[in-house]
Amino acid sequence: MRKSEDSLVAWIASRRSDPNRADTIGIGDDMAMVRVGSEKVLLTADMLMDGVHFDTSIHEPGRIGRKAMAVGLSDCAAMAVRPRYAVVSVGLPDSWSIQQAKDLFVGMEGMAAAYHCEIVGGDTNSWSKPLALDVTLVATPYPDVEPVRRDGVRPGDELFVTGRLGGSLRGRHMTFEPRVEEAHRLASMLGNSLHAMMDLSDGLSTDAGRMASASGCGLVFETPSLEHVISDAAKQSATEDRRTPLAHALHDGEDFELLFAVETGVMRTSEQRDSDHLVSRTFIGTAVAEPGVWLRSSDGAQTAIEPGGWQHFT
């Protein structure tokens, strides 16, 4: 087995006793879904570590706590579901004061409250190592929409992304706003025409590959369209290294925007009806039958995009 996060997750998923139950969503999507009695319940867990997802020598505890909660909320956005409860576990450095620990919690609490989510429990530990924390979120479907999976892309679908991409490590990775409200609005508006959605945590090139693989098809991104979603931070980063702004948009990661696939022709009509949408939604490509992720230039030349975003365990 190749050493990578994706290969390990695939191996773990293969050991599930009943992976094809129609009433559940198992390993491999942004959230798992189970049934508790007659109710659908969705769950996600995200672990954040000092030196990987934040830097305690730079970032204040409150800002770190905010991000930890926002990452889980972004998973709720990816599935277009309603955040309800959070359970938080922390491994605090022995060197931290009680006030730092309180500030960390207040940051998580404030972000949760903004999305009507309540912290209801967890575990608190201390150790001689750097800060590590895990946030588990419990969500339920909104009354008017079904959870949106990442594996429903169909050849011919049009691909869109919210917001701007790239350059997140210049600060936005600590301040991003999870697209919970935007996802609910999209799912309510588009209904069954919204075929798939996920959040972009590890970079468009990497996450698009996961969506394509899960759906058994390919994604073709149009270079001129992608140029419209390159962030100013990505352009600034490109002036300081040898990478292009487009490379930053494709590979930087930690954007936490939404990538979604919609039935052909539906989205543009819907945008005209929904003039007060929360953030920009930009057409960036189409789905095709041939597997893979591709970049098509303005002259029609097409090249494969290799995953270049973040990958744990490599």
Average pLDDT over residues 16-31: 76
Question: Which tokens is 173 given?
Answer: 């990775």
Residue 20 scores a pLDDT above 70: no
Residue 25 scores a pLDDT above 60: yes
Per-residue confidence at 270, pLDDT binned at 50, 70, 90? low
pLDDT tens digits for range 73-105: 999 999 999 999 999 999 999 999 999 999 999
* Count of alpha carbons within 13 angstroms of residue 210, beta-carbon side: 27
Choice between 307 and 278, residue whose per-residue pLDDT is larger = 307
In whole angstroms, give the CA distance from residue 29 to residue 215: 11
Average pLDDT over residues 15-44: 84
pLDDT tens digits for range 100-120: 999 999 999 999 999 999 999
* Count of alpha carbons within 13 angstroms of residue 124, beta-carbon side: 8
In order of their start, the domains of the chain are 5-141 (3.30.1330.10), 158-304 (3.90.650.10)
- Residue 277 has a pLDDT of 62
Residue whose C-alpha is closest to residue 59's, from 104, 110, 114? 104
Phi, psi angle pair for 4, to nearest 5°: -165, 160
- Residue 48 has a pLDDT of 98
Average pLDDT over residues 58-81: 98
- Residue 22 has a pLDDT of 60
Residue that has been written with the tokens 């999870």 in this structure: 178
- What does DSSP say about strands 218-222 and 292-296: parallel, antiparallel, or unpaired? parallel
pLDDT tens digits for range 165-191: 999 999 999 999 999 999 999 999 999
Average pLDDT over residues 1-11: 74
Choice between 162 and 144, residue whose per-residue pLDDT is larger = 162
pTM: 0.93
What percent of the chain is predicted at pLDDT more than 90? 83
pLDDT tens digits for range 287-307: 999 999 999 999 999 999 998
- Residue 313 has a pLDDT of 56
Phi, psi angle pair for 238, to nearest 5°: -65, -25
Residue 278 scores a pLDDT above 90: no
Residue that has been written with the tokens 């300081």 in this structure: 240
Per-residue confidence at 16, pLDDT binned at 50, 70, 90? confident
